[in-house]
Structure formats: C-alpha cells, structure tokens
C-alpha cells in the first residue's frame, strides 16, 4: 500500500481504474459546487432583509471559489472539463427536485444540514485517495465560515416562533433521507469510484460492514448538526 507522500502524478494515477474513480469524484464535486452556488443565490431572493441576503450570497461566493479550485485540478485530468462535469447533473437534479425549500429558513437548513451530509460522505471517500487529491477534496469541503450565521438565524427564528422548530426538524429528517439515498446511488452507479473505496490507497478498503459503519458515522454527524441548530434529529 502506498505511503502518504504519493504524488497525484505518480504510479497511483497510472492505474486506470483509480484515475477514473478520482476524476469522477472531482467532476461530481465540481457540479456539486456549481449547484450549491446557484441554489444559494436563489435562496437569497427569499431573504427577509438585506443583511441576511448578503450573508447567503457570501455563502454562494465561497462555494464558487471551491468550484474554481476543483475545476483547475480537473483540467489536468480531462481534455474538456465542462462536458465532463455536466454528466453529473442528474445526481444533483434528483436531490434538489425532492428538497426544494419553501422559504429562506428551509434554505438555510438545507445549506447547513444538506451540504454537511454531502461533505461528510465525500470526506469519508477522501480517506482512500492519494495525499494530493485528498488535500484538495478536504480543502473544498471545508466550512465556508458562515455556520455561525446559519445557527444564529435558525435558533433566533425558533425562539421567536417555537412552532417553526417542528417544521424545520421534519425538513431536516427529509434532507437526511434524501441525502443518504443519493449517496448510496452514487456508490452504486460509479464502479470506478466504488473500486477506489474498496481498494484504498493509504487506508484499508471498505467491505460491506465498513460501508455500514461509514453511513452510521454520517448519521451521527447529522444528529449533532441538527442539535446545534436546536432541532430534533
């Protein structure tokens, strides 16, 4: 098994299955960042005031910055990055079709909880990547620096109107179910990406029991996120 200092351009990438799996992962993340940028920009139109709108648009800008970093890496792996990225649109279209927020609060919960679930999933996959790619993935999945704003806004809304908490808790559970379903579909539909997870690079690969534990960890992180928002998981 390779050591932690294997460069992304070394023998690891000479394996066509590994290269395909990593390229697909970066492409998926690229489209995810574009999708998040668009979604947050749309959510900003529902904001109750200019200050809230500015915060949401700042979140969108951070997602776009992540996209540009991923696109730069992808350009070194495929000849035409944009057509490659576009093939992953259905993954996100399915999720967003089932989780369209009805107001700005649901949009904030989706940004905080939904994106957090996706980040947890891709961080798990990052454990099986070469160090260069792992560093890039973890960097682009890092928090945008606006989590305190989301937590304060949601908790403030619940304090002002306690009934909001029940509605948002149900919304969070719906996001959880849809996000896990989509994550499972990604693993099932992408053979090369699944092979990376089974084989690993600097980390033992996953068997079925390991995959179960992975989703259990994601579920636990979701519960902690919901608790931070003042919502029942």
The superfamily in CATH containing domain 11-229 is Ferritin, core subunit, four-helix bundle (1.20.1260.10)
Yes or no: say if 197 and 125 are a contact pair by the CB < 8 Å rule.
Answer: yes
Lowest mean pLDDT among 6-15, 74-83, 118-127, 181-190: 6-15
Using pLDDT thresholds of 50, 70 and 90, give the confidence band for residue 8: very low
pLDDT tens track for 194-224: 777 776 555 556 666 777 888 889 999 999 9
Closest by Cα among 124, 118, 112 to 226: 112
Compute how many other C-beta atoms are within 10 angstroms of the C-beta atom of residue 45.
Answer: 11
pLDDT digits (tens, 9 = 90+) for 119-137: 888 888 888 888 888 899 8
What pLDDT is attached to residue 35?
Answer: 92
The stretch 98-110 carries a mean pLDDT of 91
3-state secondary structure of 148: helix
pLDDT given for residue 201 in this prediction: 55
- C-alpha distances (whole Å) from 51 to each of 40, 55, 146, 153 are 15, 6, 13, 11
Ranges assigned E (strand) in the chain:
none
Residue 9, helix vs strand vs coil: coil
Residues 44 and 198: their CA atoms lie apart, in Å, by 40
Distances (CA, A) of 180 to 33, 70, 110, 166, 229: 18, 23, 14, 22, 20
Question: CA 169, 171, 177 angle in degrees (round to 5)?
Answer: 105
Q: How distant, in Å, are the alpha carbons of 49, 135, 147 from that of 142?
A: 27, 11, 11
Stated pTM of the model = 0.82
CA separation for the pair 11, 13 (Å, rounded) = 5
Residue pLDDT, tens place only, 23-62: 999 999 999 999 989 988 998 999 999 999 999 999 899 8
**Burial letters 174-201, b for 16+ CB under 10 A, else e:** bbbebbbebbeebbeebebbbbbbebeb
Q: Distance (Å, rounded) from C-alpha 122 to C-alpha 66?
A: 14
The confidence band for 148, taking pLDDT boundaries of 50, 70 and 90, is: confident
List the one residue out of 180, 154, 153 whose CA is nearest residue 169. Answer: 154
Residue from 148, 186, 145, 182 nearest 62 by CA: 145
């Amino acid at each position: 098994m390779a050591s932690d200092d294997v460069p992304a351009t070394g023998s690891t990438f000479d394996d066509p299955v590994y290269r395909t799996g990593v390229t697909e992962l970066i492409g998926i993340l690229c489209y995810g960042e574009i999708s998040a940028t668009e979604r947050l920009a749309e959510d900003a139109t529902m904001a109750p005031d200019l200050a809230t709108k500015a915060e949401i648009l700042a979140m969108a800008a951070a997602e776009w910055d992540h996209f540009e970093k991923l696109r730069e890496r992808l350009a070194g792996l495929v000849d035409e990055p944009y057509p490659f990225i576009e093939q992953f649109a259905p993954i996100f279209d399915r999720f967003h079709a089932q989780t369209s927020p009805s107001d700005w609060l649901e949009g904030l919960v989706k940004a905080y909880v939904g994106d957090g679930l996706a980040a947890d999933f891709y961080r798990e996959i990052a454990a099986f990547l070469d160090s260069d790619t792992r560093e890039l993935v973890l960097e682009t999945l890092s928090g945008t620096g606006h989590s305190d704003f989301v937590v304060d806004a949601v908790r403030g809304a619940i304090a002002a109107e306690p009934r909001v908490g029940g509605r948002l808790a149900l919304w969070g559970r719906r996001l959880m179910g849809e996000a896990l379903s989509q994550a499972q579909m990604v693993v099932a539909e992408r053979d090369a990406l699944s092979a990376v997870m089974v084989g690993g690079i600097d980390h033992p690969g996953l068997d079925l029991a390991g995959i179960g534990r992975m989703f259990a960890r994601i579920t636990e992180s979701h519960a902690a996120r919901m608790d931070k928002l003042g919502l029942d998981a």
